[in-house]
A and B are shown apart, each in its own frame.
Chain A
């Protein structure tokens, strides 16, 4: 059974204080790893897909990286508007669903 674990559960940062969020996974053959951002009262918003170890993708202050066992979401010089819950997920073997981690709630204070 696929498992996805995110840490920390919550992270408080000062504006400009860079940090990383972790997503560890156990799957029977990685078929991609997805990062989403979710704001309160809204559905998850797609950020990145990573398919192979060593792959990196960037979007504004966010950079996602992938190894054989985990993925990191690096946030450089965050702003208050980056505050949200960040979710990672992996597809199952059949390609019928995503298994999500519990999320990291990020709070960036000005």
Chain B
């Protein structure tokens, strides 16, 4: 079956602009995660959605970052007023349940803020 898909694959934006990143999880997976991977920082957790429960937003680095998940499926990560330090690869993953289940990652969106 289809894996996790993300779009766009690459995004170049000017400092101060807003961007939206999209994630389509594996069908049937109730849990969805966003991570950020930047040089020298490794993979950092951003936000977690599980079914209809309130998301765990504890990893979001600032209030410029927000995410939503519509209909328990597609998710959008929004970064407002982008800064150069937001440049990174944003990875989405999904799993059958909580993080004790294996997570399957998408290919990522490479964000470059100029």
Contact = CB atoms under 8 A, between A and B. Distances in A.
A49 B102 contact: yes
The 9 residue pairs across chains A and B that have the minimum distance between CB atoms: A95-B98, A43-B105, A91-B99, A97-B45, A100-B43, A96-B56, A96-B48, A44-B105, A46-B102
A87 B91 CA distance: 14
Given A97-B48, A97-B59, A100-B42, A32 B100 contact: yes
Name which of A36, A89, A92, A102 has the most chain B CB atoms within 10 A of its CB.
Answer: A92
A92 B99 contact: yes
A43 B106 CA distance: 6
B56 A97 contact: yes
Name which of A43, A45, A99, A103 has the most chain B CB atoms within 10 A of its CB.
Answer: A43
Given A46-B103, A97-B33, 11 more contacts: A36-B105, A42-B107, A43-B105, A44-B105, A87-B43, A91-B99, A92-B99, A98-B33, A98-B103, A100-B43, A102-B42
B88 interface: no
A90 to B, nearest CB: 9
Interface of A: 31-32, 34, 36, 41-46, 49, 87, 89, 91-92, 94-103
Contacts of B42: 100-103
Interface of B: 4, 33, 42-43, 45, 48, 50, 56, 58-59, 91, 93, 97-100, 102-108
Contacts, number: 59
Contacts of B4: 43
A28 to B, nearest CB: 14
A103 B39 CA distance: 12
Nearest to A46: B102
A45 B58 CA distance: 25
Contact of A95 (B45, B58, B91, B100): B100
B43 A91 contact: no
B108 to A, nearest CB: 5
A49 B95 CA distance: 13
Contacts of B99: 91-92, 95-98
